[in-house]
Chains A and B, each alone.
Chain A
Amino acid sequence: MLARIIMVKLPKRYTQLACPTSGGFGDVICCNDNHLDRKVAIKVIKDIKEEHRLRDELVALLQMRSKHVVQVYDIVTLDAGSFGIVEEFVDGGDLWNSDVPRQSPDTYLSILWQIASGIADIHAAGLIHRDIKPTNMKLDGERIVKIFDFGLARKGGADAATKGFIGTYGFAAPELYGSGKVSFTNAIDTYAFGATAFFLKCRDLPPELQKRPPQSVTSGVFSSAPISIPHDLAVLLERCLAHNFMDRPSMATVRDELARHLHRDKHQALAVHSGKPYLFNSTNRSAVLDFPKVGMVEITYDGLKFFVSQTSGEVYINNSPACSGMEIPGSCVVALGGAHRKSNEREFITFDVSNPEVVL
């Protein structure tokens, strides 16, 4: 391979460290920022005419605060009619070749959750990434997923329409395969996320996604090995690949569902009765509170929530009559015996549900 000759002249502040690599919309040069003595990635946008149009979108990107989107430090004007976007340099390989997602089901879900959080942040800022795929994500040294390479230089912008196909085959949603003017919504990122989720699990794409344009996937596509995931999550991830963009879930929904499952079997409930604490969790899943001849309730932990699995007599949870299937709120008082009884005919048990927080 021939070494490329760099035509751009970098400002004095930056020293080029390596040969440029080809990125989503221009070359990427790894440099040292001599003022702060740290590595940065400078993306070179070759067409200066793009600068004005891109600047608005860049400003939106700059104002967005997300743990999962690469930080933009600066914009620099280069010579030869080009400009550069100075970004944080994320050391390490991208997720295309990474084995980390397959280390364990928990790791897989944690990485998907981080990716979903990043895309949800992007969507909340009114932006569409347009090129979500494993090669556009890295895990940094602290194991935080960073998304980069916005499809900024694509034709499009505010009206979210392009001429002809953009994106990456295999990850691009069916609605992007049109001729003439192609309209799309942020659901193209959801589709690409679904494809990414499948790829990170199987290191390949489903055959239907390898067609151009992609076809509807067969039901149960996320239920196969090598990483087993809960059924309802498999269904949700499959919905991300829905052919009709209207049928795909929002990325905020995907993020929240993944977070819920990351806590599976990690919740605990602290029950206090007459000053004595009792702990319930995945190894001690069921509590029976029984005040003979007054009321009985059994509370069970199913891995995601504590709920009333059986009840009889006078049982009130935060003053509402308990019924089977009722979810226990984060904090409550269970009363055995109605308010009409004397205080020595009633028992109170407090119940506090909590879980470890997923902190990055």
Chain B
Amino acid sequence: MSGPLSPGDVIQERYKIVNQVGEGGMQFVYEAEDLILKRTVALKMPKNDSAKKRFQRSAIVAARVNHPNIAKTLDYLQEKECQYLIEEFIEGKDLDKAILKKAKYLDPYLVARIFNYLAKGLAASHHAGVIHRDLKPTNVMVVDAFQLNAIKITDFGIAKMAEEELAAAAEGGSATLFDSHTAVGALPYMSPEAINTPKDVSYPTDVWSLGAMMYELLTGDQPYGYGLKAVGKIQEAQPPMFPSFLSSNPQFAPLADHLKDIILQCLRKDPSSRPTADSLVAQGGNLCYSIAPRHIGVVSRVFFKAYGFIDVDGVGVFFNYDSVYGEKPVAGDKVMLSKFPGGGADRAHPVVKLQ
């Protein structure tokens, strides 16, 4: 379904539509040009009646949060029956498209970095009294994919609207739950209380969702799976198991173990025993990780199932299987890596296989 606006449309003589860039369960998202201030902005429009009802209220909530890791609200306007929210335009893709569709999982360095930024953004929003309620990979925008030049939580506004739909869906039981497009996307990241007693949703709900996202980034799977089965498992909230590859490589084990510990704290069943966003920020401040630039390459040769070379823009980079997080790539596989000067060829570390 495409939205009601087309390229070239101008809203209130000011915002000229360039393109439709997204469509969530609740809203259409466009890239637009602000003709007065000559800058690119994101223009959002509610998609259905329940969204329309709360659109301004949600814009106001989003506008209260001001942080580098939160998408900035710039303007809100109404014209006849139509409502528009203007946000800073983030030149990038959401976490799902930018990262999870490309890599099954990420090395602990990159996960720690994403965790750090999101915890900061979440803390700022909680300080402003704003609960996101619907934190999930499609509500996180990433600039420059694996380089993470910016990472911003978005759609705060939409959260409360989504909550109503989610609550209605949850109360109607699993059948209703799966009729709701919004619910299906949000479910793997929903906390037990968001499913059982949506009225009790508060700050710890966001902490749970952040933990569930970090679990997925580190392991490649959602902690309680997806679909119908996830509902019961989330309600039980047994601490999830972690695949063995996280700890089997001593080069990654110390940081991976640290992250596992943080994730398990976030996924505690009792909301009051989860850490606050501030506590997560403090824990994130102690994580050591490399921020060296990331590159994409293709494995050209592997010797003795132990080491080999990766072609990065036509230049061979040496790599050892000890530097690989997760599944070992073979010749022809696409990989993501950082590289460091070696005598002769550069040396890759870490290396993660891409899809």
Contacts and interface: CB of A to CB of B under 8 A. Distances in A.
Given A267-B288, A355-B288, A329 B340 contact: yes
B284 A350 contact: no
A292 interface: no
A71 B109 contact: no
A220 interface: no
Contacts of A74: 36-37, 74-75
B301 interface: no
A57 interface: no
B285 A356 contact: yes
A319 B59 contact: no
A142 B127 contact: yes
A275 interface: yes
B290 A330 contact: yes
22 contacts: A35-B76, A35-B77, A36-B59, A36-B60, A58-B37, A59-B37, A72-B37, A74-B36, A74-B74, A74-B75, A142-B66, A268-B288, A270-B254, A317-B343, A319-B342, A319-B344, A320-B343, A330-B290, A330-B340, A332-B342, A354-B288, A354-B290
Given A62-B37, A63-B39, A332-B347, A141 B127 contact: yes
B181 to A, nearest CB: 28
Taking residues whose C-beta sits less than 8 angstroms from the other chain, chain B's interface range is: 35 or more
Contacts of A277: 250-251, 253-254
A272 B342 contact: no
Interface in B312-355: 320, 322-323, 338, 340-344, 347, 349
A272 B38 CA distance: 53
B316 to A, nearest CB: 13
Interface string B27-40: 00000000011110
B21 to A, nearest CB: 18
Contacts, number: 122
A38 interface: yes
Contact of A37 (B63, B66, B292): B63
Given A38-B63, A38-B64, A140-B66, A357 B75 contact: no
B217 to A, nearest CB: 16
A311 B72 CA distance: 53
Interface string A196-225: 000000000000000000000000000000
Contact of B250 (A71, A140, A275): A275
A5 B301 CA distance: 77
